[in-house]
């Protein structure tokens, strides 16, 4: 956490502030056309900043996706991730390179990008006039095994940098998208949250920072926890291997050593024995003292030694982006939105809540047809 605080300016500049700059431009263009609000797409907006942040922290400079609107890199990474998925399901099939030519060129492109980023930084690091950096790339370059002094090899470093990009982009950005989607579908919750943020931080000229948001915005904490419970960004299975001596699960299932167990976070988070009205979006369950205890049952970042390495960075992104955009903008769905408070779920367990945008799951989960489903109308809030 202290190391992360040093990175907060980069997270703010390339995250919330960069997104607001892009959205402000769209508002100015709409005003010039005498329109009261601007149409933007939150899914693309959140993806752009998640990539730009990892660009700064892991590759040494922003990918500038938010400013340029150029999504080539995001599509290339997706192709590379699909190849990784195919390799893990059927290594034999994945060896047919001609069949997946496009995906293999994406992998080569991404490897080169990561390789060049670390070579460039190593050169700077070794030259006498190097500038000091305080980012993840630098920490990887300086890291060494405390017992042998061995450093991370170039090849491993490329793997680590690409892992950051795969693990640290879709996860945070989809979590932000699901949170905003749920808020738009529950206007009372959105209203209460905006009131909390605007009352606590009325001075719009100062960006809301992570520590103060976490301390002063309990309802935002509850909304984020509930959003991550109900729509886990990592919705695939997490593998674990039982230790040699075996184990007993739930006091009744004897599992032999070396068994591979798959854990589904989505199933844990929707377990009716654990969560009352599990299919309802209800941030209230995380309010007050009892609510703080319940937060421990949200396993969205995994658990144990393999738990998410970017958990604190993710929290920083979630708090700063949500707090700053919800304070600054009034946000509503366009009149032709397919999903919203007007369209109620037919699932009896959802107790008449709105039907939410369906999701696609591979390893991470993504809302379907985001181009259409994630459009919003924004205008600058005049009264805080």
Contact between 307 and ligand HEM (CB under 6 A)?
yes
Assess contact for 329 and 23: CB atoms under 8 A: yes
Binding segment for ligand HEM (CB under 6 A), chosen from 95-103, 148-156, 295-303, 354-362, is 295-303
Give me the residues paired with residue 241 across strands: 260
Instruction: Decide whether 161 or 337 has the Cβ nearer to ligand HEM.
Output: 161
Binding segment for ligand HEM (CB under 6 A), chosen from 110-118, 190-198, 254-262, 303-311, is 303-311
Instruction: Decide whether 302 or 341 has the Cβ nearer to ligand HEM.
Output: 302
CA distance 170 to 74: 10
Rounded to a whole number of angstroms, the distance between the first and last alpha carbons of the chain is: 32
**Which of 48, 310, 354, 370 touches ligand HEM (CB under 6 A)?**
310
Contact between 378 and ligand HEM (CB under 6 A)?
no
Give the nearest distance from C-beta 140 to ligand HEM in angstroms.
Answer: 11
Contact track, ligand HEM, 238-267, x by CB under 6 A: x-----------------------------
CA distance 154 to 162: 12
Contacts of 377 (CB under 8 A, 6+ apart): 37, 38, 39, 331, 332, 333, 334
Region of residue 344 (phi > 0: left; psi between -120 and 50: alpha; otherwise: beta): beta
CA distance 343 to 354: 6
**Which tokens in the block code for residue 154?**
């170039």
Instruction: Decide whether 228 or 333 has the Cβ nearer to ligand HEM.
Output: 228
DSSP, collapsed to helix, strand or coil, labels residue 160 as helix
Q: Is 308 annotated for ligand binding?
A: yes
Contacts of 24 (CB under 8 A, 6+ apart): 380
**Which of 113, 140, 314, 377 touches ligand HEM (CB under 6 A)?**
314
Give the nearest distance from C-beta 68 to ligand HEM in angstroms.
Answer: 22
Contact between 309 and ligand HEM (CB under 6 A)?
yes
Instruction: Decide whether 100 or 294 has the Cβ nearer to ligand HEM.
Output: 294
**Binding residues for ligand HEM (CB under 6 A):** 163-164, 167-168, 171-172, 175, 233-234, 238, 300-303, 306-310, 313-314
Residue numbering of the annotated binding site for heme: 308
């Amino acid at each position: 956490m202290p190391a992360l605080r040093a990175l907060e300016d980069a997270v703010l500049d390339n995250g919330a502030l960069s997104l607001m700059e892009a959205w402000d431009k769209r508002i100015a263009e709409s005003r010039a056309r005498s329109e009261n609000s601007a149409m933007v797409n939150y899914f693309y907006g959140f993806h752009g900043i998640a990539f730009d942040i990892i660009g700064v922290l892991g590759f040494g400079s922003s990918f500038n996706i938010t400013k340029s609107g150029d999504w080539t890199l995001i599509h290339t990474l997706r192709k590379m991730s699909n190849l990784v998925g195919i390799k893990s399901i059927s290594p034999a099939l994945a060896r047919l390179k001609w069949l997946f030519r496009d995906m293999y060129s994406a992998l080569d492109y991404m490897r080169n990008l990561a390789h060049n980023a670390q070579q460039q930084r190593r050169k700077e690091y070794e030259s006498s006039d190097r500038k000091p950096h305080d980012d993840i790339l630098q920490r990887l370059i300086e890291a060494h095994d405390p017992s042998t002094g061995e450093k991370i090899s170039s090849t491993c470093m490329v793997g680590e940098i690409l892992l950051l990009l795969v693990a640290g982009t879709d996860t945070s950005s989809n979590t932000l998208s699901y949170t905003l989607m749920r808020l738009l579908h529950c206007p009372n919750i959105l209203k209460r949250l905006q009131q909390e943020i605007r009352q606590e931080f009325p001075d719009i000229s100062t960006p809301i920072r992570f520590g103060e948001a976490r301390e002063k915005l309990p309802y935002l904490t509850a909304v984020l926890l509930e959003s991550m419970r109900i729509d886990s960004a990592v919705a695939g299975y997490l593998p674990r291997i039982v230790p040699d001596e075996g184990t007993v699960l739930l006091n009744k299932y004897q599992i032999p050593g070396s068994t591979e167990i798959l854990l589904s976070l989505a199933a844990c988070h929707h377990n009716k024995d654990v969560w009352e009205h599990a299919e309802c979006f209800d941030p209230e369950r995380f309010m007050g003292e009892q609510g703080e205890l319940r937060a421990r049952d949200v396993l969205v970042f995994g658990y144990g030694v393999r738990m998410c390495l970017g958990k604190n960075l993710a929290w920083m992104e979630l708090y700063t982006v949500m707090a700053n955009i919800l304070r600054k903008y009034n946000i509503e769905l366009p009149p032709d939105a397919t999903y919203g408070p007007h369209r109620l779920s037919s699932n009896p367990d959802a107790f008449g809540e709105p039907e939410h945008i369906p999701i696609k799951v591979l390893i991470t989960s993504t809302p379907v047809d985001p181009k259409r489903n994630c459009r919003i109308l924004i205008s600058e809030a005049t009264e805080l």
